[in-house]
Copies of this chain bind each other. A is one copy, B any other.
């Protein structure tokens, strides 16, 4: 890994966002148009073209779910249930309630909280079809109270879906699962087809075509943030163990050649030890090729003047995952401004949060932790303002409001109040 001594230079994780080539944008626009016009028949033909399988049904059958259970051990199913319970428990603590406040003059103001009616979860295909993604995307929506939750995911060439994904979905009670991927899945979720009724919000990661399609339908439906490559930043001091940090950096690097693994430390000794451990541990990893490419290009160790400048560097990076492995990690929490998830102490290794502890693993990437949050229950509710003005409040304030309306040249606004004064 590159080791850089930082004194006052600024660092950034931000990479330019892939908004697609003109050709890719045109392809996505024409797919969306085709789905709007031709519905299911267009879905079948894109599935044949892109996923190389000719399906007779888009929707997953009960028999496929029973089959999936046979492929997983009872122990694993039990662990999936326990993880789901932990995730549910953490998200239940986020629930918010409608509130109304009462003024002395009889005015009532408030916020009414309502769950979205329907949500579509896109689960990518191939090696990225993770059961944990199903749990992390579906459970917050369920806790919010969303009634209809749909999963779409591309089928294999044999027309199947991964057993882990089907079991995780079934454990959560999700019955509406479609074998559709790509931009065509996003178009179907946004506009609906004969088989797939439209949803109000689409979440979940995908390739560039999926990301571009989400950008296109944003406004017709809501979408989540468009995810970039994954990152980890470890903030550590001399008390940390190099082998543990190296292993955590590699767990990020194995995701993707574009993933970024960074250590920020005031200790040159730790920096050098971690670097040596990364080389050693890398050699025996099954996904060595991916992890090595990631570490070579996007791996970095920054050695800072002291712990305080190390924290400043972390805030500049605004990482998706931040591990704080220092003598007193909890003491630093207040100074950390920008991070998707903050893992405190040596026992809070990132995979603990990826799978099991309860907080969401869908996190803001590419420095967007400056303004975005982990996926959470608020993403599946909306608020309506409540305004109930009393007669007294109205008579006390009507003339002020008409003056503001006339300052803005909106006479009909002023007259709407004056009709009530007649």
What is the interface residue range for chain A against chain B?
Answer: 35 or more
Shortest distance between the CB of A187 and any CB in chain B (Å): 14
Please tell me if the beta carbons of B342 and A384 are within 8 angstroms of each other in the complex. Answer: yes
Shortest distance between the CB of A90 and any CB in chain B (Å): 6
Task: Say if the beta carbon of A401 comes within 8 Å of chain B.
Answer: yes
Please tell me if the beta carbons of A344 and B116 are within 8 angstroms of each other in the complex. Answer: no
Shortest distance between the CB of A408 and any CB in chain B (Å): 5
8 Å CB contact of A413 from B251, B339, B390? B251
Copies of the protein in its oligomer: 2
Please tell me if the beta carbons of A374 and B383 are within 8 angstroms of each other in the complex. Answer: yes
Please tell me if the beta carbons of A349 and B116 are within 8 angstroms of each other in the complex. Answer: no
Please tell me if the beta carbons of A112 and B225 are within 8 angstroms of each other in the complex. Answer: no
Residues on the B chain within 8 Å of A14, using CB:
220
Q: How far is the CA of A285 from the CA of B401 in the complex (A)?
A: 18
Please tell me if the beta carbons of A341 and B372 are within 8 angstroms of each other in the complex. Answer: no
Residues on the B chain within 8 Å of A345, using CB:
388-389
Q: How far is the CA of A293 from the CA of B368 in the complex (A)?
A: 43
Please tell me if the beta carbons of A351 and B384 are within 8 angstroms of each other in the complex. Answer: no
Interface residues of A in 315-374 (CB under 8 A from B): 329-330, 333, 336-360, 363-364, 366, 368-374
Please tell me if the beta carbons of B348 and A388 are within 8 angstroms of each other in the complex. Answer: yes
Please tell me if the beta carbons of A404 and B112 are within 8 angstroms of each other in the complex. Answer: no
Residues on the B chain within 8 Å of A17, using CB:
219-220
Please tell me if the beta carbons of B352 and A387 are within 8 angstroms of each other in the complex. Answer: yes
Task: Say if the beta carbon of A149 comes within 8 Å of chain B.
Answer: no
Interface residues of A in 209-251 (CB under 8 A from B): 215-216, 218-222, 225-226, 243-244, 246-248, 250-251
**Which 4 pairs from chain A and chain B are nearest by CB?**
A359-B385, A347-B394, A344-B388, A341-B385
